[in-house]
Amino acid sequence: MKKLFLIAFVLVCISGFSQTKITLNTDLAKTKINKHIYGHFAEHLGRCIYGGMYIGESNTKIPNTAGVRNDVIQALKELKVPNLRWPGGCFADAYQWKDGIGPKANRPKMVNVWWGGVTEDNSFGTHDFLDLCERIGAEPYLAGNVGSGSVKDLADWVSYVNQPTGSPMSDLRIQNGRKEPWNVKIWGVGNEAWGCGGNMTAEYYANIYRQYATFMKDITPESKLYKVASGASSDDFNWTETLMKNIPHSQMSALALHHYSVLSWVETKGPSVGFSESTYFKTMQEAWKMEEFVTKHSTIMDKYDPEKKIDLIVDEWGGWYDTDAEGKGALYQQNTMRDAMIAGLTLNIFNNHADRVRGANLAQIVNVLQAVILTNEEKMLLTPTFHVMKMYNVHQDATLVPMTIESPTYEFSGKKLTAVSSSASKDASGALNISITNIDYRKSHEITISLRGEDFSKVSGQILASSNISDHNTFEQPNKVSVKDFSGTKLEKGVLKLSIPAYSVLVLTLKK
């Protein structure tokens, strides 16, 4: 009898340690989750632009609008893409925008020196990109060429897209078929200035930034410029400190940050499919580092900008693996449930830091890195990452609900990671949306959510889960990994109870 009691006591203790406890204070919600956290990125890289989004106006096999695939346009509308960053990336600091305007037959060719040395014909340029953004309802985010361009080049680009009439650049735009300006607000002043953008020191870039920003003028109230400084890579905290100290805050709207969940920059990055648990755990370690980096870079920014007027924009993030041999393009990789874990975890981090993180861009949108869309000739599929981004778009411009969370750990080879992450928000209708990601490779976790401040009577949910961490969608099985309705919740007296499977993403919606 005594032995049975001890066994029961041990089981209770083990069960207690596996519980995730979340407390939500809905009446304390006040910080807006900026919709631009859910931005995307399209670079002239591999098959992202040519053969991915853009197939050309003469293509009769694939339905398109002005050369852009209609199925891609529809998918991006479903995602509610708030902003799209273009033309790079490293490519931005080699791009000459004037070569991509005017009659397409007259445009000069260029060699993409950063990505494979391929020759491009400049048939996808400024008009094509900005018109696409209008079609999908996204704000364009133009990355300016600071590394190999000139101040005048960038100032002319601003004038070309934003000046209504009366300037040489506005006359040129009108001559090229666009009467009304696009009023582009978001501008990157270079990209990765510490690396492919010029291998600059932080001090040198700060001075260069000041010069470029001076000549990038607000032309109309509708096109007041939002200038993004080229920020740090991962844990380069000195870069952030130097820029915050040396760039006048009146000249800078935001500071960028880049961090990829990559195993190594100098050795193998591992396969996109068929990876081991060891590789998976290391990828999750890198994904969780986003919490540390956002926190520490924000702390530095707080030192110089305590009122949080300057935004932190994580305009490159995602998983990076070895290029798939069958990908037919640089940095093509499959997208599995592991990528869904990166997306769910990272977006929870961004949401919970919404007081400083006010924008981000997943890398990249089609056929490159952690893509939401993959294409192959006439075929197209939506990846697990697409489904997470769509599930989470309920948080766009909603109000962050403060939470406390106690999570069990995911353990592997003597190391530990927090298994469950979460974020929550209230939308304009008063509905409460809770997103939860369980990165644990083996275990489901019981979750108890205490709701404080308001009463809710109805709960619904959607879940992305699969039987294997390497599961992914293929052109033969495009719906192998898909979103399902989730009904495994119990709501009683302000307490919500559920179980979330291993490596799965869940979004719950509660209404009164």
DSSP-assigned letter for residue 59: -
With H, G, I as helix, E, B as strand and everything else as coil, classify residue 251.
Answer: helix
Q: Are 509 and 496 in contact (CB under 8 A)?
A: no
Q: What's the CA gap between 274 and 252, in Å, rounded?
A: 44
| Concatenated DSSP letters of 89-154 | SGGGGG--GGGGSS-GGGPPPEE-TTTTT-EE---S-HHHHHHHHHHHT-EEEEEE--SSS-HHHH
Q: What's the CA gap between 510 and 512, in Å, rounded?
A: 7
Let me know if 454 is a catalytic residue.
no
Tokens of 378: 């006439």
Q: What's the CA gap between 208 and 184, in Å, rounded?
A: 22
Q: What's the CA gap between 150 and 509, in Å, rounded?
A: 50
Tokens of 404: 């406390």
Q: What is the pairing mode between strands 186-189 and 139-144?
A: parallel
Q: Are 251 and 214 in contact (CB under 8 A)?
A: yes
Q: What's the CA gap between 160 and 144, in Å, rounded?
A: 13
Looking at 316, 411, 446, 476, which residue is catalytic? 316
Let me know if 192 is a catalytic residue.
yes
Measuring CA to CA, how many Å separate 344 from each of 76, 228, 296, 321, 363?
A: 18, 25, 21, 18, 15
Given its phi and psi angles, is residue 131 left (phi above 0), alpha (psi -120 to 50 degrees) or beta?
A: alpha
Looking at 57, 192, 267, 406, which residue is catalytic? 192
> Where in the sequence numbering do the catalytic residues fall?
192, 316
